[in-house]
Amino acid sequence: DAKTTQPNSMESNEEEPVHLPCNHSTISGTDYIHWYRQLPSQGPEYVIHGLTSNVNNRMASLAIAEDRKSSTLILHRATLRDAAVYYCILAGGTSYGKLTFGQGTILTVHP
Amino acid sequence: ETGVTQSPTHLIKTRGQQVTLRCSSQSGHNTVSWYQQALGQGPQFIFQYYREEENGRGNFPPRFSGLQFPNYSSELNVNALELDDSALYLCASSLASRGPGNEQFFGPGTRLTVL
């Protein structure tokens, strides 16, 4: 499985933007970049995914580097409810939907 | 639209026993995946079921087995429980037709404690 590298932890202040980086230098051409987050005592929650182009949805934006070897999840205005573990995951053509979670980034949001 | 539900919420078993965990997938979803999450770790893929057949398996021994029913609900069975099986077990449902670009919707999990 292609691997991702994320910082162990990041901190932000409420109502400020947050940029969560992810490196995936061994990404293949058919790998999708997924982001999930897990709030305390809950199952993971889908955030966003993309293949080549930048993506936006109601929760976040995903910026994908031109060479696809890195990506950034952008939370435009962090709230206390965004405090969670954020996972960057690659899912490819043969993965039949299998998600390989790493350690993720623990995001702390300060009021 | 009904989300993914799991039962029971918590379970305590002793070493050597067997356990069955249950999952109801989100309405319209035909694929169910199971994950094990040890404390402080990310979830680890156990296996996936599509149209009642196992459709991929992670690095888990055969004593971890599953079923998917015609209504797409699923069970995870674990035989001969070991202390290391203590974890949060997560079920996720999705639409297989969307392939690796699909979203997976997770349930709240079942917390299993093996004594």
Would you state the structure tokens that stand for residue B100, as one six-digit string?
Answer: 């690796």
Mutate to test the interface with A, among B45, B104, B110 (most CBs of A within 10 A): B104
- Provide the pairing of β-strand A70-75 with A18-23: antiparallel
Does residue B54 have a pLDDT over 60? yes
Query: Measuring CA to CA, how many Å separate A59 from each of A38, A55, A63, B94?
Result: 14, 11, 14, 20
Residue B100 pLDDT level (bands cut at 50, 70, 90) = low
What is the per-residue pLDDT for B103? 86
Residues of chain A with C-beta less than 8 angstroms from the C-beta of B55: 96
Is B42's CB within 8 Å of A87's CB? yes
pLDDT of residue B21 exceeding 80: yes
Chain B residue numbers touching A87 (CB-CB < 8 A)? 42
Report whether the peptide linkage leading into residue B8 is cis, meaning its omega lies within 30 degrees of zero.
Answer: yes
For position A46, what pLDDT does the model report? 94
Give the C-alpha separation, A68 to B100, whole Å.
17
Q: Do A102 and B43 touch (CB under 8 A)?
A: no
Q: Which residue has better confidence, B98 or B102? A: B102
CA distance B82 to chain A (A): 23
Q: Is B50 on the interface with A (CB under 8 A)?
A: yes
At A91 the pLDDT is 86
pLDDT of A95: 60
| Residue B26 confidence (pLDDT) above 70 | yes
Q: Is the pLDDT of residue A74 over 90?
A: yes
Q: Could you tell me the CA-to-CA distances from A30 to A9, A27, B72 in Å, in that order?
A: 29, 8, 28
Q: B101 vs A50, A60, A95, B45, CA distance in Å?
A: 8, 17, 10, 17
CA distance B18 to chain A (A): 24
Is residue B20 within 8 Å of B75, Cβ to Cβ? yes
For the residues of A18-86, what is the DSSP string, one character each? EEEEEE-TT--TTPEEEEEEE-TTS--EEEEEESSS-EE-SS-EEEE-TTSSEEEEEESS--GGG-EEE
